[in-house]
Structure 1
Amino acid sequence: MEHIQCDKKKVCIFGSGNFGSCLADHLADAVHDVLLWSRDTEVIEALNSTHMHPYCHKDHVFPEGIRAVGPEMLSTEALREMDVLLFAVPTEGLRETLTKLKPTIDQILKFDEDGEVKSPVFIFVNKGIESKSNALTLEIVAEAVGKEVARAAAFLSGPSFATEIIRRQPTNVSVSSLSQSHAQQAADLFHQPWFRCYTGTDPIGVELAGALKNVYAIAAGCAEGLGYENNTRAGLVTRALAEMSRIGTAYGANPLTFLTLAGVGDLFLTCSSKTSRNFTVGYRLGKGEKLDDILRTLGSVAEGVATAKGAKMMIDKLGINAPIAQGVYGVLYEGVEAEAQARWLMERPAVAEIDLSCDVGIAAKELLAKLGL
């Protein structure tokens, strides 16, 4: 496919794992200049000398437009030249990374006449809920580097396996921000014939969908590991979408967001493919393996494991009925056998199929108040 001509940007990506490296490949192929920050010296040396990654996408040759840097943080002078800062570190490590960068970010921010961040463009691609604080990424950003950055931050999410992006399989994603301008800038950066972006202004809903679908992917994996087939998966995914919508509506997200690429699109993908790390965790739990053994041998981060803790806290705080998410928490952290949890879910009393909370928006109002909105 021919490239779409675009303005060449200087992009710094923090995180050289599966997704961070695939986005670096995509952006460099689209002729942007890419710095890929890693804390792993082996990754840095391999990418710079052979243009190959020692752990991820091992058979792929990365474009020469990528320069790997680290493990020390970049200097103020280096980051001042960047048009885009993209964060592809797991949610559990994001606050630490941003806190280290705050002195530099304070020095490089440029503001428009209304006092809103003009540059650089901040993009976040992690999907999770911080387990200790129950915070979404939007809140982590506000607390770590300031509400001005949070208001401008863009969030990319949707059905987008890294291995398929690397192979230039047609991929569609959501890009959302409280600032329509920054959402559009982020979308324009990524947009290519094999990577189509749709913009929105509900980052809270996009974040919740991206985080929660990982929890439900564990449930889908458990079901397959237990030997359940298509009827079970279809019912589970449909009821997972109902729970996500209920949680999101109570939180204050737009319920329609859960019908987008970031919602049902990502949920369907993650719950139906053995390529998903979260699905794999669930599958192995369904086969009777212990969580510690699974995580030790998985080889990469499955964000749904940590997110299940944050989701449980959120569900309890909002007073939401979300039995599948609660069931996943029980299997992961309370020693409940997957088969027993599946039986409990099926034996619950019959209830109304559509049940959105009427007491909506309290959590979102509190979060937006932190952002000065």
Structure 2
Amino acid sequence: MKKEVIAVLGAGSWGTALAHVAAENGHDVRLWTYKPAQVNEINNEHLNRAYLGEVAIDPNVVATADMQVAVKDATIVLSVVPTKATREVAHQLAGVLDTLDQKVTLVAATKGIEPDTYKRPSEMLTEEVAPKNRRGVGIIAGPSHAEGVIKHDPTLVTMVSENIQIAEQMQAAFSNQFFRAYTNTDLVGSEFGGALKNVIAIGAGAIDALGYDANAKAALFTRGLAEISRLGQAFGANPITFMGLAGVGDLFVTATSVHSRNFRAGVQLGKGKSVAEVIADMGMVIEGISTTKVVHELGQLKHVPMPITDAIYDVLYEGKNTKEVVTALMDRELQQEGK
């Protein structure tokens, strides 16, 4: 395995877990965070308690609050900040790379869509970082909760880039006995799958809280995947992508696991908490809440039927009762399954 210098921007649970995997693989890993206290905790105690509790981080992960220190000489730079911060951090990174006169492989590991612009993470990186400073752009997709990755739960992901050589570089850098990476070239489908599954996961948590059993969960999962695929294809995605790790795989893990913030948010909504109460209680970014609004708007823009997304939108943004929207979904006009 070729040794890489890898900068990870964002020391949340997923950024820390990816830094941990890269360090275990023998790479030179720098983890950037804007929080000095977090830098000290990671470097001195090899812990990131706010996100991963008492699980130890590989001691070769070096944290810093100076982005230039993190990025200097890096061959791969991962952006693992929330969607709402992706463009701002990418803009800052662009300035650092320009100062260093450095060219890197850019990788987005965030799953969401930017409000208002409707841009995917890879598009934001491409728009903000000049061509002279990037070899290529890719993403990490697939079913991969940080809590499992850092504990060596066998995990499969897909490294996605329109340039297969970039995807293969990422695959080689991160694959090991516990973290197996495949490659894919469908950026559109992989990013839509990663973003939209968060919406369906909120619904899955809500119906779990309402006490519905396997029939209802299977219905939500199956018809939710149909919505993800329909909208993705409207933007040019390969439908096969939604049958793989970035589609059904990511949806399954996010819509069934207690490690999923979106699932947990849905549980609280199903128990009658307000959106404001759920956000305050979670203490971390719940990507599916903002993504629901974006997807609701994209469905209208492309004239793609999104009944489950629209129902979740009604709960989140119109204050409707969770059980009532489930009943409304069941009472919709009957139709063929493929529509």
Q: Structure 1 length normalisation: TM-score? A: 0.87
Quote the offset at 1:30 in angstroms.
1.2
User: How far apart, CA to CA, are the structure 1 residues paired with 2:133 and 2:94?
Assistant: 11
Taking the aligned partners of 2:261 and 2:192, their CA distance within structure 1 comes to 19
* Aligned-pair CA distance for 1:131: 1.7
Q: 1:24-173 counterparts in 2 under 5 A?
A: 24-70=19-65, 72-74=66-68, 79-108=71-100, 119-146=103-130, 152-173=136-157
Per the TM alignment, residue 36 of structure 1 is displaced from its structure 2 partner at its CA by: 0.5
Show the counterpart of 2:177. Answer: 193
1:113-152 Cα offsets, whole Å, 9 max, x none, are xxxxxx4211111000112322111321232224677882
Structure 1 window deviating more from structure 2 (229-238 vs 145-154): it is 145-154
Q: Supply the distance in 1 between the matched residues of 2:16 and 2:241 (Cα, whole angstroms).
A: 27
Q: Deviations over 1:206-243 (max 9, x none)?
A: 00000000000001111111111100000110001111
Residue 269 of structure 2 aligns to a residue in which SS? Answer: helix
1:14–1:38 CA contact under 8 A, matched in 2: yes
Matching residue within 239, 254, 268 for 1:284? 268
- Which whole-Å deviations, capped at 9, do the CAs of 1:90-129 have from their partners, x for residues lacking one? 111000101112122235566xxxxxxxx42111110001
Q: Secondary structure at the match of 1:34?
A: strand
Structure 2 unaligned segments of length 5 or more: list them: none
CA contact (8 A) 1:176 1:202 kept: yes
Distance (whole Å) between structure 1 residues aligned to residue 111 and residue 144 of structure 2? 12
Over aligned residues, Cα RMSD in angstroms? 1.6
Q: Distance in 2 between matches of 1:67 and 1:343?
A: 51
Aligned residue for 2:308? Answer: 324
**C-alpha contact (below 8 Å) 2:105/2:134 kept by paired residues:** no
**Residue 284 of structure 2: SS of its match in structure 1?**
coil
Could you tell me which amino acid in structure 2 is paired with residue 234 of structure 1?
A
Paired residue for 2:298, among 289, 300, 314?
314
Q: Is the 8 A contact 1:142 1:148 kept in 2?
A: no
Give the deviation of 1:79 after TM superposition. Answer: 2.6
Structure 1 contact 52–62 (Cα < 8 Å) conserved: yes
In structure 2, distance between residues paired with 1:325 and 1:146: 35
Take 1:94 and 1:250, find their aligned partners in 2: how far apart are those partners? Answer: 24
**Structure 1: runs of 5 or more not aligned:** 1-5, 111-118, 356-373
SS at match of 1:198: strand
Match of 2:326 in 1: 342
Q: Is the 8 A contact 2:97 2:133 kept in 1?
A: no
Deviation at residue 31 of structure 1 after TM alignment: 1.1
* Matched letter for residue 165 of structure 2: S
Match of 2:245 in 1: 261
Contact 1:151 1:178 in 2 (8 A): no
